[in-house]
Amino acid sequence: MKNKTSFKFWFPEQKRYIVMIAVLTLVALYYNKVIGFISVSAIIYFLYYNRKTSDIRQKEWTKYIESLSADIDETVKSAIINLPIPICILEIDGNINWYNNKFADIVKKRELLDNKIEEMIPNLNLRKVLNEKNEMYTNVSIEGNNFNVVYNIVKIENKLESRYLIMVYFIENTKFLKLSKKYYDEKSVFGIVQIDSFDEVLESAGSDMRPLIVADMERTLKAWADSIGAAIKKTRSDKYIVFMENSTLEKLEKEKFAILDEVREINYGNSLPLTLSIGIGVWGDTLVKSLEYAESAIDLALGRGGDQAVIKRKDKSTFYGGRSKGIEKKTKVKARLIAYALKDLVMDSENVLIMGHKNGDLDALGAAMGVYSICAHLDVSANIVLQESNGSIELLLKNIFRSGGYKNLFVKREEAIKMCTKDTLLIVVDTHRPNFTECKELLEIAEKIVVIDHHRRGVEFIDKAVLVYHETYASSASEMVTELIQYISEKPYISRLESEALLAGITLDTKNFTFRTGVRTFEAAATLKKLGADTASVKKLFQGDVETFFAKADVIRSAKIIERKIAISSCEEGIENLSIVIAQGADELLNIKGIKGSFVLGKGKDGIVYVSARSMGEINVQVIMEKLGGGGHIDIAGAQIKDSDISDVISKLEDIVTTYLKEVGL
């Protein structure tokens, strides 16, 4: 205390004053000893008096501070005890050390000391607190009321030991949550309902039955809207707009959009089934944005083949339904219009780059060769982007190189990037997913992009395309390109090799004209036959070696059957021609009696697990593969999974398949 007092007494300002007075006193003493002695005496007295009064003031100030601290302690204690929010203090092991009356009121118990907090509030996870350095927030429900819980760790130190206590504050937010839920439930939702291929469905019925189909369709949709409390408005013969609340949408999701099945039951002699595509937009920042989400969702539903509902919540899309195959359109008007537009784009370009998907197959390469023939016919330079060969296209590539007429046709990614300018036209075939293309960088460089694809649309799509020819009912990209070739000129011409490449692509994706084969598929095949395609030569492109045959046999022998409906198998890691083995193995497994779907997995030399999925049409393997990050068609699909083991992927696949079978009632 004395040291502190001395410090208080000898602060710099006083020192300066005393020094000045001492100097003046010495001067006075030099000239007049009497006045000097009087001055010295006065200085000594003043120093003594100042020291004495300073000590008194210091003691009074200390007493005041101590008294104030005691008052503050009492005030703090009183404030905490009478705090209008529940609060408790816990030991580090969760025992209650102290609590106020408000806390006792919310748990409706007394004498809580030394009880475990988890016994009072089971859904309060105390272990998380120990891993947090700062305040932590969580929500709990107590006796029907909701609380936002704030807690932090406090360190108490004294001379003997240090200990930790947990301060826990309960801030009730029941009314806020109820208001938030009400706002969430009443949020506006826009929906667009479209009848799939309505004109074709009506044409498939007798003329006397068509009015009945229209009337029953409108009645069914009106009754559905009334039952869920939604407003529906017809905008054209096959399109409706729906307004509902978010709570209504949640009910529809729980029912898996049962209206899709209900509409499918309408039958007045129509040979083609009635199906709906529903696009719903939610969580837009504005009503206009929600409507844009709905329009994007209906485009996605139609691009996936229809007969399904798509809910778009900002960047996330959820899918329901999708059990039916796309209805083939008999008219080729769209193909003719696309061909004219493609012709103009090609002729206005300095050069053309063509690419398919990674690990290309015969359909991707066949379609690329077909597009190349169009460019050659229009006398525009074109190249196909291909990084490397693989077992499925090896024989076709050998035929191309052996012919000698396609020098410098193929370019690797680095070269393609250098060739791409603002006047380059980039044509993507057999895929619409940017990450699946042979060279994703080209999509960012090219200013003009054309997409030609037949796969059901996924969430990921090439949005920059100036021309999109996307038909999910088509058997293959090769079929679509074949139709375009017929409209490029009055007398289309392609070489025999190009026609065989296109026919091989159709043959591959239809599994020898068994799956996804329509009238237009056979018409395209007939056109290619007229242009010189040799079916025997095409057959040779599918021949494999002995090792591949044995590997396929091992896949069939080791298959695991689930629910007597699904076959799952895998092949050895690092085998040659992996894509061929798993694809053909999945095809062969469908020949087993009772099998409705098959999945074959294999791990490539690049460490990626490849999955090939097939079905007889009753099971939508596209939906199953999408949950693994893949996609495809309702009966032919696949996926590529990085950084995983085959055993882990099989386990996940089995869970997905089991859940899917329960959802669809198989």
pLDDT tens readout for residues 258-282: 899 899 889 898 888 889 999 999 8
Q: Per-residue confidence at 327, pLDDT binned at 50, 70, 90?
A: low
Report residue 476 as tokens: 């293959």
Q: What does each C-alpha distance from 46 to 40, 43, 318, 465 come to in angstroms? A: 10, 5, 90, 96
pLDDT, tens digit (0-9, with 9 covering 90-100), for 563-621: 889 999 998 887 877 888 898 899 899 989 899 999 999 998 888 899 999 998 788 88
357 is in an annotated binding site: yes
pLDDT of 152 above 80 = no
Q: What are phi and psi of 39, to 5 degrees?
A: -65, -40
Smallest Cα–Cα separation from 318: which of 274, 362, 281, 354?
Answer: 281
Q: Per-residue confidence at 107, pLDDT binned at 50, 70, 90?
A: confident
361 is in an annotated binding site: yes
> What is the CATH number that goes with domain 333-540?
3.90.1640.10
pLDDT of residue 66: 58
pLDDT of 83 above 80 = no
640 DSSP β-pair partners: 610
State the Cα–Cα distance between residues 230 and 137, nearest whole angstrom.
38
Smallest Cα–Cα separation from 242: which of 280, 277, 215?
Answer: 280
Segment 424-440 shows an average pLDDT of 92
Q: What does each C-alpha distance from 589 to 145, 557, 573, 583, 660 come to in angstroms? A: 56, 10, 20, 10, 20
Q: Which CATH number fits domain 87-179: 3.40.1280.10, 3.30.450.20, 3.40.50.1370, 3.40.50.1100?
A: 3.30.450.20
Specify whether the CB–CB gap between 552 and 569 falls below 8 A.
no
Q: Per-residue confidence at 2, pLDDT binned at 50, 70, 90?
A: very low
216 is in an annotated binding site: no
pLDDT of residue 415: 94
> What is the CATH number that goes with domain 546-664?
3.10.310.30
Smallest Cα–Cα separation from 364: which of 524, 477, 221?
Answer: 477
468 DSSP β-pair partners: 451
Q: Would residue 585 be called left, alpha or beta, if left means φ above 0 and alpha means ψ between -120 and 50 degrees?
A: alpha
The domain limits of the chain are 2-80, 87-179, 186-321, 333-540, 546-664
**Terminal CA-to-CA distance of the chain, rounded, Å?**
88
Better-predicted residue by pLDDT, 30 or 180: 180
Report residue 5 as tokens: 């007092």
Q: Per-residue confidence at 15, pLDDT binned at 50, 70, 90?
A: low
Better-predicted residue by pLDDT, 164 or 378: 378
Segment 527-534 shows an average pLDDT of 91
Specify whether the CB–CB gap between 475 and 518 falls below 8 A.
yes
The answer to which of 48-57, 99-108, 512-521, 610-619 has the lowest mean pLDDT is 48-57
Compute how many other C-beta atoms are within 10 angstroms of the C-beta atom of residue 32. Answer: 12
430 is in an annotated binding site: yes
pLDDT of 657 above 80 = yes
pLDDT of residue 171: 87
Specify whether the CB–CB gap between 287 and 188 falls below 8 A.
yes
CA 413 to chain centre: 28
The answer to which of 64-78, 95-109, 288-302 has the lowest mean pLDDT is 64-78
The answer to which of 55-69, 197-211, 385-399 has the lowest mean pLDDT is 55-69
Compute how many other C-beta atoms are within 10 angstroms of the C-beta atom of residue 330. Answer: 10
Report residue 304 as tokens: 């996936």
Report residue 477 as tokens: 């990209």
Q: What does each C-alpha distance from 227 to 195, 221, 380 come to in angstroms? A: 20, 10, 59
pLDDT of residue 8: 43
Better-predicted residue by pLDDT, 152 or 658: 658
Q: Residues in the chain, how many? A: 666
State the Cα–Cα distance between residues 32 and 38, nearest whole angstrom.
10
Helix or strand holding residue 156 (H, E): strand 145-157
426: Cβ contacts below 8 Å, ≥ 6 apart: 352, 353, 354, 355, 420, 442, 443, 446, 448, 449, 450
Specify whether the CB–CB gap between 217 and 194 falls below 8 A.
no
**Fold that domain 186-321 belongs to in CATH:** Alpha-Beta Plaits (3.30.70)
Segment 449-473 shows an average pLDDT of 87
pLDDT of 651 above 70 = yes
Smallest Cα–Cα separation from 216: which of 261, 260, 263?
Answer: 263
In terms of pTM, does the model score above 0.85? no
Strand pairing of 316-321 and 560-562?
unpaired
CA 506 to chain centre: 32
Scored b (16 or more CB within 10 A) or e, 217-244 reads beebbeebbeebebebeeeeebebebeb
